[in-house]
Structure 1
């Protein structure tokens, strides 16, 4: 489970990037966090990952505060960024093996890697090819396989569908639905309204560091999500 309790971040230049965020993503839930660039989405992820320190408030993973238990909480969460940082001179399998060992898995077989790559839909002829020859969609699948191999309860994603073709984006959403059914807590930051409406259990809209809207699946499916989003983007934050 992921929790933010009055989570606030003000940078050294005075910018209030996140303003008293209160949020809970439960096991077996896909939560989409929407907002324009600079709304506070990536700051939220960075606080959960302990990449930056909050000004006040708490970020908790499975009940542990990230600041107090940085190593323990990192074992409980997996992260995939918009531009997946992998090693181009490694093959797909070698990338999985490398990151699995970084996560403390001492026994990782070739077949283990193959199983996870099949699960994310990477074509088998690519398993032993170097990543520098891959398209963005193929790299994203390798990154997702690395995330799955970590076998954590919580997954953070930052714009995972950016730059993907419709087929790859749809395949990614299907994988997320399977992960939700396995009881994972999934926080996904994105601009992708179409995917949000298709698979999210809840949706939040952020603006100027504040969570200005929070709706469940039933509520946002009855409404025009695009209109709601644009209305909130035009309104002033009080």
Structure 2
């Protein structure tokens, strides 16, 4: 089992070093190689000392193409260039624990329906930013809660981030989270709350986390270490001030 695990991890690491993901031709060769190794393993055509090496090779092959498949799935629904910067009316669910700063609320938003027949490819999950309205009806963004279903006018952009050496890569982080675009709420059409709570797996969990965060912040009542306590209890570090980091 140890040899299989080491081989599998080695295959995953090998995939990470490739400049491009494998195409259908490489998948076909991998399937043929895996079948050949499986036949050799089953018929014990190698001497006993070669069996561990054969098992490691099979595991490395499996790890390589498993990682490639996961990467392909993550890149399956990128935001089409034609839809970038375009306002779209969508319906979706607040999926993550929202975070409010001075004039914006941020959360992960899962798009369920798009009210347009001309869009191309739209990712299902987006990083939503809801800023204060500055138009005819100025006002702060609402108090979002996990599980709420909204109808919103969104402007989507493809993920962009700065990749400084040894720094935080925002674009890679969004890819790891399964988020395919950034979105900003547009106030040209009034947002509409359709459902106060939609029961889904992540929504139920994050609704409980949100309730616990509210209770912690109420008890601590503005103390400077409140964000640190929330981070330790809930794993949400966004409320830690610069002073709290140190």
- Establish whether TM, by shorter chain, passes 0.5: no
Q: Provide TM-score, normalisation by structure 1.
A: 0.22
Q: Which has the higher contact order (CA 8 A, sep 6+)?
A: 1
Give me the TM-score of the superposition, normalised by structure 2. 0.21
Structure ID, larger Rg? 2
